[in-house]
Amino acid sequence: MLFQSLITPSIQLANRAVMAPMTRSRADDANTPSALIAEYYGQRATAGLIITEGTSPSPNGLGYARIPGLFNDAQVRGWKVVTDAVHAKGGKIFVQLMHTGRVTHVANLPAGAQVIGPTSTACPGEMHTDAQGMQPHSIPRAMTAPDIAHAVQEYAHSAQLAIEAGFDGVELHAANGYLIEQFLNANVNQRTGAYGGSIKGRNRFALEVARATAAAIGAHRVGIRLSPYGVFNSTGAFPEVEAQYLALTQELSQLGLLYLHLLDHSAMGAPPVPADLKARLRAAFQGLFILAGGFDRTEAEGALKTGQADLIAFARPFLANPDLVERMRAEAELNAIDMATFYTPGSKGYTDYPTLARRSAVPA
């Protein structure tokens, strides 16, 4: 099933292998995609669907060094080169909208941007800055009601720009401890009132973003990524986690979103998302269901054949294998991953991984 097409009224995909979003830190100094980024995604256009690296809808969300944005005209023009490269090879591509929130250092932000989050508590730990090396996360300013309303509109506006840039849709990053999950997660969100203190309060920001984005570009062009039981950026499970994510998923389904992308971090050492919760989330969501988390070809086939998912996302295998779909179809060996170049500038470890065709063309 992995190599079968998926055809719905909203989207047509050549196969069921999704390239998962992976931060690569190759944007230029103005957080604008370059020709190198277009080459990278164009190389991987045989994926059924590409979901880009996390891309900020706001200057305030550019927490990491050299991540791209999508909130101004120059960024639209840069991304248009990327989407053209993917579409020229018959691929489909969504942009993942990722506001880093409190997972930020001010040295990575452009002039005038602010570190914001649900509360004024800094994210534990450190992050890389090009200017100052490793630094503790900066202390955020707790978002006011106008701040929250502004952020919601930034997501909606960025989604409109995504369509202008040629994307087939957008994915809302509500996982991995970034801004939307900072509101969802009870370990991070210590607010009381409308945006905290209860399942309904913690879910409110995510639902407002999803609702505004769907209104801006159509729910059939919007997906969302969730990671219950994830621990990245000091999140982690909490007593109401399953009830909360079920309630969230039911409301997202009512909005008519295209897909729900569920990430299980257990392959990276986090607690697994219980199989029963995955099944209940799958049943609660009426759109397409994507599973991610350490799958190989055999495991992906099993999940598809048993109806656990409609699509399977692969992360690091796509990073090192531009022709991953062809390699999996042929049961060919995969390239080794160069972890030292995950986030470094330039083409090394980015666009220079060999394909089967390139390897076979080299004389013995």
Concatenated DSSP letters for 172-211?
Answer: EEE-TTSHHHHHH-TTT----STTSSSHHHHHHHHHHHHH
Give the pLDDT of residue 361. Answer: 47
* SS3 state of residue 222: strand
Average confidence score pLDDT of the chain? 96
pLDDT for the residue numbered 268: 85
- Paired with 51 in beta bridges are 94
Nearest alpha carbon to residue 19 among 43, 42, 52: 52
Q: Which of 332, 364, 337 is nearest to 353 (CA)?
A: 337
**What pLDDT does residue 270 have?**
87
pLDDT at 357: 83
Among residues 158, 23, 13, the alpha carbon closest in space to that of 79 is found at 158
Can you give the pLDDT at residue 269?
85
Q: What is the enclosing helix (H) or strand (E) of 356?
A: helix 356-361
Mode of pairing for the β-strands spanning 311-314 and 288-292: parallel
What is the pLDDT, as a whole number, of residue 286? 97
Residues of the chain with pLDDT under 70: 358-364
Q: What is the pLDDT of residues 267-283, one digit of tens each?
A: 888 899 999 999 999 99
Structure tokens at 53: 């690296």
Using CA atoms of 344, 229, 227, 198 in order, give the dihedral in degrees to the nearest 10.
-130
Residues acting as catalytic residues:
178
How far apart are alpha carbons 253 and 235 in whole angstroms? 24
* Closest CA relative to residue 66, chosen from 42, 39, 94, 100: 100
Place of tokens 């389904």: 253
Produce one character per residue of 12-27: b if its CB has 16 or more CB atoms within 10 Å, e if not: ebbbbbbbbbbbbbbb
Backbone dihedral angles phi then psi of residue 222, each to the nearest 5 degrees: -125, 130
CA distances for 76 relative to 217, 253, 276, 320, angstroms: 16, 29, 41, 27
The DSSP bridge partners found for residue 129 are 133
CB atoms within 10 A of CB 345: 16
Please report the pLDDT score of residue 273 as a whole number: 96
pLDDT value of position 359: 58
Task: Tell me the helices (H) and strands (E) count for the chain, helix number first.
Answer: 11, 14
Residue 29, pLDDT score: 86
Integer angstrom CA distances of residue 157 from 195, 212, 224: 22, 9, 17
> 217, 222, 76, 208: which is closest to 150 by C-alpha?
208
